[in-house]
């Protein structure tokens, strides 16, 4: 590097240093504002004040995304502000999040994605316990897996949602990458690849192009596949990086999914209702005595008001009173007039109706 280049580098670094000093001053001012918010909220003498406002956070992140014209991606920029907010919120009132991980770090990663790294966490060992921890006040919020693109809806969460008095306060989606793993060092030595059928489907092209010789077998879950590969060195498993670590396998290649749509959806649950943020979803469970016509009738209550349905899942009921339960998510907040009307109508049309909550649509993509 020439002298001139070195000087140019030093110049840029000095500029970075002064930018950093400015950013830091602003973050410090932001922290003071957060404390003033806390004072304003408790001034009336109230004890049971809510500091964490999901709708406000979603609005701040959307504004960040809207403003972002930088070299940094929208998601990365929002993540930085997510962390700044998390640090400031911890000054107002540290919040504790109960979570569970069937796949360990994914669940934890989604806690951080939603609440930032400054949130306190409480790991529990079943989905039911996540609910109990929040109900008993051991945690302010809970985070539960709702749906996995490779393994479908999470039954325990559905069952707990039916019983709980807690509300859904937010949604988090986490993209999960597939890896091929084995005890073997080389792809060539793998005779058979095992994985959940959906994972095999998602990696079909990669397998054809990179392991044309290989035999393929579907097993119950990717975690089981990894476990099998840890006991047989002619097997390759498709699973998460986390699974490779858990079972002591070598990751031979990662990101092998053909499309990048392998994700898990989580819901945050809490005891408070969330106010409208301007872009929200509403989740509910309904059931009707007569399935076919009745469902169309329910859906028409939304369609006639141009309310979009983002998800519907039918679940065979364990209760004999109803054949099927439907988990329905729509766009809009229950405080919006047309949504309120539609919900009231649906309530009349159904034999079972439970509103799970209205919450901000996630700004992350």
In the region spanning residues 200 to 259, those forming contacts with its own copies, defined by CB under 8 A, are 241-242, 244-246, 248-251, 254
Which structure tokens are listed for 72?
A: 């940094």
For the chain, the straight-line distance linking the first and the last C-alpha, in angstroms and rounded, comes to 41
- Give the nearest distance from C-beta 77 to its own copies in angstroms: 7
- What are residue 251's DSSP bridge partners? 181
Considering only residues 23, 50, 175, 220, which one is a binding residue for its own copies as defined by CB under 8 A? Answer: 23
Local structure of 200: helix, strand or coil:
helix
Q: How far is the CB of 258 from its own copies (least distance, A)?
A: 20
Q: Could you give the CA distance from residue 253 to residue 61 in angstroms, rounded to a whole number?
A: 34
Q: Of 123 and 216, which has the nearer Cβ to its own copies?
A: 123
User: How many residues of this chain bind its own copies (CB under 8 A)?
Assistant: 78
x/- binding map, residues 110-149, to its own copies, per CB under 8 A? Answer: -------xx--xxxxxx--x--------------------
**150-182: b (≥16 Cβ within 10 Å) or e:** bbebbebbbebbbebebbbbbbbbbebebbbbb
Contact status, residue 99 vs residue 108, Cβ threshold 8 Å: yes
Beta carbon of residue 245, minimum distance to its own copies (angstroms, whole number): 5
Task: Decide whether 36 or 318 has the Cβ nearer to its own copies.
Answer: 36
- Our finding on whether 5 is near its own copies (CB under 8 A) is yes
Rounded least distance, CB 64 to its own copies, Å? 6
CB of 144 to its own copies, least distance (A): 15
Residues 268-307 that bind its own copies (CB under 8 A): none
CB of 132 to its own copies, least distance (A): 10
Query: Alpha helices of the chain — where are they, by DSSP H?
Result: 3-42, 54-67, 74-92, 105-115, 127-135, 155-163, 197-202, 204-210, 222-229, 241-246, 291-303, 337-349
Closest CB to its own copies among residues 113, 281: 113
Q: Which is nearer to its own copies, 83 or 323 (CB)?
A: 83
Token readout for 43 is 């001034």
Shorter beta-carbon distance to its own copies: residue 84 or 203: 84
Site for its own copies in 41-60 (CB under 8 A): 41, 43-44, 46, 56, 60
Which positions from 156 to 195 touch its own copies by CB under 8 A, shown as an x/- string?
----------------------------------------
Question: Per residue in 278-299, is it b (16+ CB within 10 Å) or e — as a string?
Answer: ebbbbbbbbbbeeeeebbeebb
Q: Which of residues 322-361 bind its own copies (CB under 8 A)?
A: none
Nearer to its own copies, 183 or 282 (CB): 183
Give the nearer residue to its own copies in terms of CB position, either 77 or 153.
77
CB nearer its own copies, residue 63 or residue 303? 63
Structure tokens at 128: 């039911």
CB of 17 to its own copies, least distance (A): 7
CB of 157 to its own copies, least distance (A): 17
Binding mask 65-104 for its own copies (x = CB under 8 A): --xxxxxx---xx-xxx-xx--xx-xx--------xx--x
CB 338 within 8 A of CB 307: yes
| Candidate segments 63-71, 142-150, 277-285, 316-324, binder of its own copies by CB under 8 A | 63-71
Smallest gap from residue 317 Cβ to its own copies (A): 28
For its own copies, give the closer residue by CB, 252 or 356.
Answer: 252
> In the block, which residue shows the tokens 């309530």?
347
Which SS3 state, helix, strand or coil, does residue 142 take?
A: strand
**Is 276:335 a contact under the CB 8 Å cutoff?**
yes
- Residue the block writes with tokens 């539960």: 144
How wide is the angle at C-alpha 362 spanned by C-alphas 360 and 365, nearest 5°?
Answer: 160
Length of the chain: 365
Nearest one of 44, 30, 50 to 271, comparing CA atoms = 50
């Amino acid at each position: 590097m020439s002298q001139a280049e070195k000087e140019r580098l030093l110049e840029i670094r000095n500029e970075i240093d002064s930018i950093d000093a400015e950013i830091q001053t602003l973050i410090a001012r932001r922290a003071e504002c957060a404390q003033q918010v806390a004072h304003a909220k408790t001034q009336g003498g109230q004890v049971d004040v809510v500091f964490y406002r999901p709708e406000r956070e979603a609005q701040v992140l959307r504004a960040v995304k809207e403003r972002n014209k930088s070299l940094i991606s929208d998601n990365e920029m929002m993540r930085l502000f997510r962390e700044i907010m998390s640090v400031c919120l911890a000054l107002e009132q540290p919040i504790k999040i109960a979570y569970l991980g069937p796949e360990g770090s994914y669940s934890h990663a989604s806690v951080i994605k939603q609440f930032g790294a400054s949130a306190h966490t409480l790991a529990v060992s079943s989905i039911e316990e996540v609910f109990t921890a929040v109900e008993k006040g051991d945690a302010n919020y809970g985070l539960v897996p709702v749906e996995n693109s490779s393994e479908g809806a999470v039954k325990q969460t559905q069952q707990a949602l039916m019983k709980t008095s807690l509300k859904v306060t937010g949604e988090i989606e986490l993209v999960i990458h597939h890896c091929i793993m084995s005890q073997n060092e080389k792809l060539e030595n793998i005779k058979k690849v095992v994985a959940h059928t959906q994972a095999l489907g998602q990696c079909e092209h990669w397998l054809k192009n990179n392991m044309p010789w290989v035999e393929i077998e579907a097993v119950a879950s990717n975690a089981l596949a990894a476990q099998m590969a840890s006991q047989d060195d002619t097997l390759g498993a498709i699973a998460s990086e986390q699974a490779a670590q858990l079972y002591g396998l070598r990751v031979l290649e990662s990101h092998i999914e053909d499309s990048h749509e392998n994700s898990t959806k989580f819901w945050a649950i809490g005891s408070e209702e969330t106010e409208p943020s301007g872009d929200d979803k509403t989740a509910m469970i309904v059931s009707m005595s007569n399935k076919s016509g009745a469902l169309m009738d329910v859906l028409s209550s939304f369609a006639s008001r141009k309310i979009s349905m983002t998800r519907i899942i039918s679940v065979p009921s364990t209760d004999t009173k109803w054949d099927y339960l439907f988990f329905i998510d729509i766009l809009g907040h229950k405080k919006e007039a047309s949504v309120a009307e539609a919900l009231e109508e649906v309530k009349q049309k159904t034999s079972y109706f439970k509103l799970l909550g209205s919450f901000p649509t996630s700004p992350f993509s």
